[in-house]
Amino acid sequence: MESEPIIQLKNIFAGYNDQEVLHDVSLTIYDKDFLGIIGPNGGGKTTLIKLMLGLLRPERGEVKHYRDGQEVKDLKTGYLPQYNTFDKKFPISVRDVILSGLHSNHRVFHCFRKADKNLTSQILEMLDLTNYAERAIGELSGGQRQRVLIGRALICQPEVLVLDEPSTYIDQSNQEKLYELLNRINENCAIILVSHDIGTVLRNVRNIACVNGQVHYHPANEVDEKTLEKSFGCPFQLVAHGHVPHRVLEEHED
């Protein structure tokens, strides 16, 4: 059975301060999709994400959200930004960081329900963080903290999970575990992942949106060097060594 659309962008023109960033963009995100978004800096990846999340209104065109085939005002969305800064000395536990993802649905000092706490325990188990639940988040490694923040994005039980450079704080040895986790999460919600790590993205996502002013949509297994050269505007080579993908840019003028 073909998946239903959940986000649809049609003939979008968008930008900032009279500077057009995206030109005549159309894109459909499907239920349970795993979409990788790649493209050069300044090409419009962040703008595209803001449009999907409803944080930016297009100058022209329309953005629609759907649930079970019916148009809705918005979707439940979990978001992991690229940069997460917090005081490592602040005494907040891993469990409380995850629960903080519910503050959009509760008053700040509202007592959490038993169901919220049970869901947090399930997320801790899924993220392999049960033994760290009461530990201060500042005591964790970068990879562990990133998993906690993914947990915070999941606590609202999103229909779409948006991740901006999720492997920023994770070393190479833990990236495979991250994508195994994301594949499990993808069983319950769509995932939109923005990354510069093109080799790893191509190996793990289901579909690709190449963004550089416009958007070109491809199944991940159809993206090759010529496709990337067109999207990035420079010569491109992809090299894969076993299970460790790499990307190599040929010499070119800026």
**What pLDDT, on a 0 to 100 scale, did the predictor assign at position 142?**
81
Q: Quick one: pLDDT at residue 247?
A: 43
pTM over 0.85: no
pLDDT at 236 over 60: no
CATH number for the domain that contains residue 178: 3.40.50.300
Regarding whether 67 and 40 lie in a shared domain, the answer is yes
Q: Which domain holds residue 64?
A: 1-76+158-254
pLDDT of residue 176: 80
Q: Say if residue 142 is in the same domain as residue 174.
A: no
Q: Do 110 and 227 fall into the same domain?
A: no
Q: Which two tokens stand for residue 249?
A: 């840019």
Higher pLDDT, 71 or 168: 71
| Residue 202 confidence class, pLDDT cut points 50, 70, 90 | confident
Q: Do residues 182 and 215 both lie within one domain?
A: yes
Contact 6, 31 (CB under 8 A): yes
Kindly state the percentage of the chain with pLDDT values over 70.
79
Same domain, 197 and 142: no
Question: What pLDDT, in 10s, does the model give residues 110-129?
Answer: 577 888 889 999 999 999 99
Domain boundary among 122, 138, 157: 157
- Average pLDDT over the chain, rounded to whole? 82
> Span 211-226, mean pLDDT?
78
Residues 71 and 164 in one domain: yes
Last residue of a domain, one of 116, 131, 157: 157
Clarify whether residues 11 and 113 are in a common domain: no
Give the strands of the sheet with 160-164, arranged side by side. Answer: 77-80, 160-164, 190-194, 34-38, 207-212, 214-219
Closest alpha carbon to 193 in 150, 157, 133, 234: 150
**pLDDT, greater one: 117 or 106:** 117
User: What confidence tens digit (pLDDT) does each residue in 129-171 have?
Assistant: 999 999 998 898 888 888 899 999 999 999 999 998 887 767 7
**Mean pLDDT across the stretch 79-105?**
80
**Contact partners, residue 60, CB within 8 Å, separation at least 6:** 11, 12, 13
Number of domains in the chain: 2
pLDDT band at 84 (very low <50, low <70, confident <90, very high): low
Residue that terminates a domain, selected from 117, 138, 157: 157
Are 153 and 171 found together in one domain?
A: no
Separation of alpha carbons 250 and 14, rounded Å = 31
214 or 224, which is more confident: 214
189 and 212 housed in the same domain: yes
Same domain, yes or no, for 22 and 95? no
Q: Read off φ and ψ for residue 128, nearest 5 degrees.
A: 60, 45
Residues 246 and 231 in one domain: yes
Q: Which amino acid is at 130?
A: T
Say whether both 118 and 35 belong to one domain: no
